[in-house]
Each structure stands twice: as structure tokens, then as C-alpha cells.
Amino acid sequence: MASPTVINLSGSIPVSCFAWNGDRTQICVSFSTPEVYIYQKQGSSWDKIHSLLEHDQRVLSIDWEPQSNLLATCGEDRNAYVWKLESDGKWKPGLVVLRINRAATCVRWSPSGEKFAVGSGARIVSICYFQEEHNWWVAKNIKSGIRSTVTCLDWHPNSTLLAVGSSDFHVRLFSAAIKGVDKRPEDTSWAESSQLRTFGSLLHTWKSEVDGWVHDVAFSPAGEVLAWVSHSSCVCFVHSSDTSKILSVHEHSLPYRCCMFANENLLIAAGHSCAPNLYKCAGGEWKFEKSLDSGAKEQSGSNVNSAMSRFKKLDLQSREAASDVVLKSTHQNAINHMVALERKGNNVRFSTSGLDGLIVLWAMQV
């Protein structure tokens, strides 16, 4: 594991969400405010080159489509925007017709780049696509079975299946195929094509043994495994070959907030323990493999002891007295977001952001 690269754009202001452009030379960031900023790498520094100011409440999620170079943002103002870079060098927002009455919590472009999904506190997932004749973005809503706020989304590689996690402790798998936008769905290991042709079909529902709202959900690169992390400090896996069986790994640590697959047999998870950890599948069983942060490896467990000691000091003493506590991990506070940079052969690169204001680039060989 190579030494991580640390980017500090805001001092100690927490990074709430971020996304990279296609060639990874620009990064779009929100700092828990209505404003969204785009930074570009200039030598060894990152310079702010654009400010996107259409939202009037806190931005909760960002996703950057690499093929079309379109940015999607959503937030507490119940709105989602698609931003397009015009010929004059300015980003122009396009309003998405969501028809929701609660915050838009998460946004994800499909792998095809033809549509994107928006989750919300209205217990709705909006599948958004562009209508050429009206020159705007419209949405078809999925409501079936969702009983609480949608917290996370991830697309299957075929751009038809959508995994949805929510604060009702469940993960659900829906068909999100839109006639006229998507090609005719084919059979998958998760569902037959006849099921996929009906938009909004609830194909599977899962709930782990220990209750906890779902923080993040992820498909493996081939789409054969689905994983999620929850506030119950549990990592769960479902294989398409047996959708009735949930493989749970219970961690005696602080909860994870985000996860992604390095390949079909390796999962990276990170969260309140402040360091990314690796899970490996061997013989059909998923187990904790190691911490990916060399500093965190020096401690027992997954950096939880130092994190807990810091929280205790913050509780028992003044915040100023505890401000000199330095963790051995690269991140000095909870990791709240993770974005893949590259999966090529044995090389995997990914990035994380945290409540410490840092964005960290990681590189590993698998």
C-alpha cells in the first residue's frame, strides 16, 4: 500500500460530499453548505475555479458523470440540479422536476450516463432522465415498500437494477428500466427480464440480523455481489447465486459510513473508526483482512481505541483541551464519503473525505 496523498481544501471545515471529473483533474466539493465549489489541480496545489450557487439549503450529495461531463447535485431544499459547462466557461444549472416534499438525500448517475437516481426523505427514489422535446429533466418515482428516508443508492453495471438503502434498516433491489431510455432488459442473475421490464418492480428485500439504518450500499464490479454497511457496526453481503442468504460480518468497532468493492472478492469500508479497512472473501466467507492505513495498523483493532479515547476526552474535558489529541490514522475524524478513482488490473485507487476537512487519495495492489 503506497503512502496516501492528503488534500486539504478547507482547513478543518468538514467535507460533506465530493466527486471527480472524468480525468481526475478537477474535484467538486460541498462543505455542508448550499454552495458547491470546483477545484482544479495546478502543479502541487488545488485552485478554486468555479462556484455553483443555485441551491438555497445544504447540499447533501454530488455525482459527476464522466462521459457527458454533467454534474448532478441535490440537497435539503428538495431540489436536484444538473449542471452543464457552457461554451463561455460557466456552469449552467438545469432544474430537475422531482415532485418531492422532503430533502433530496443522495444522487447517483447510472453507468450508462443516460439517467440518474435521487433518494429522498419522502420515501421515494426518483429516476431522472432528459426529455429532448421539453428540454428539461423529468423523473419517474419508485415508492414501493420504502418506509423511511432513502440514505444511499448504487446501480448495477447494467444500469437497470438499483439497490436502495434506507433508515428503516432495509436494503431493496428495484427495477429502474425506463422505456425509451434504456435498451430492452436482459436476464440477470438477480432477476429475469420479464421482471425487469416493469419499472419500479421490487425484486428483493433484505434486512440484517442486527437493526441499524443503512449508511451505504455497493455492487461489485461484475454486479454479482451486493454489500452494505449499517449503523449497527455490521457489514453485510448478498450473492446473486443465493439471494436468500445474508452473509454478515459483525465488527466490534465504530460503525462504517461508506463502502466500495476493489474487485469481486475485496471490499473496502470506512467510517467512524477513521481508517479504511479491507474485507476479503475466501471459501464463500467474508472476513476482515486488514486496515489500509499504515498508521492505524499500529493500534489494536481498526483504530477504534484511539477514536474512542478522543471522544471521551471531548466529553469529559473542554473541546480546547481535547484539540491536541492526534490519531495515528491519516484521517483525524470520521470518514463520511468514498469515491473510486481507478480499478485497472491489480491497481486500485480510491479517495475518501472526512469530518476533519481532508480528502485523501489511496492506492493499493490487490
In the prediction, which pLDDT does 275 show? 96
CB atoms within 10 A of CB 331: 29
Task: For residue 329, tell me if it sits in a domain.
Answer: no
Query: Which CATH number do you get for residue 134?
Result: 2.130.10.10
The label of the residue with cell 438545469 reads 94
- Beta-bridge partners for 353: 337, 359
The label of the residue with cell 473542554 reads 318
Q: How confident is the model at residue 345 (pLDDT cuts 50, 70, 90)?
A: confident
Task: For residue 208, tell me if it sits in a domain.
Answer: yes
Q: Determine the structural domain holding residue 59 and report its residue range.
A: 5-303+334-365
Rg of the chain over CA atoms, in angstroms? 20
In degrees, rounded to 5, the angle at the alpha carbon of residue 263 between the alpha carbons of residues 261 and 264 is 95
Task: For residue 322, tell me if it sits in a domain.
Answer: no
Tell me how far apart the alpha carbons of residues 164 and 24 are, in angstroms, rounded to a whole number: 27
Task: Specify the number of domains making up the chain.
Answer: 1
Would the pLDDT of 82 be above 80?
Answer: yes
Single-letter residue type at 154 = D
Question: Is the distance from CB of 117 to CB of 178 less than 8 angstroms?
Answer: no
In the prediction, which pLDDT does 68 show? 97
Please state the pTM of the whole predicted model: 0.91
Q: How confident is the model at residue 302 (pLDDT cuts 50, 70, 90)?
A: very low
- Beta-bridge partners for 29: 18, 37
Task: For residue 246, tell me if it sits in a domain.
Answer: yes
Task: For residue 327, tell me if it sits in a domain.
Answer: no
In the prediction, which pLDDT does 77 show? 97
Task: For residue 318, tell me if it sits in a domain.
Answer: no
In the prediction, which pLDDT does 130 show? 96
Would the pLDDT of 314 be above 80?
Answer: no
CB atoms within 10 A of CB 3: 9
Per-residue pLDDT of 214-227, as tens digits, reads 999 999 999 999 99
Q: How confident is the model at residue 300 (pLDDT cuts 50, 70, 90)?
A: very low
Tell me how far apart the alpha carbons of residues 363 and 341 are, in angstroms, rounded to a whole number: 9
DSSP 8-state secondary structure symbol assigned to residue 182? B
Q: How many residues does the chain have?
A: 366
Tell me how far apart the alpha carbons of residues 216 and 72 are, in angstroms, rounded to a whole number: 19
Task: For residue 186, tell me if it sits in a domain.
Answer: yes
Task: For residue 320, tell me if it sits in a domain.
Answer: no
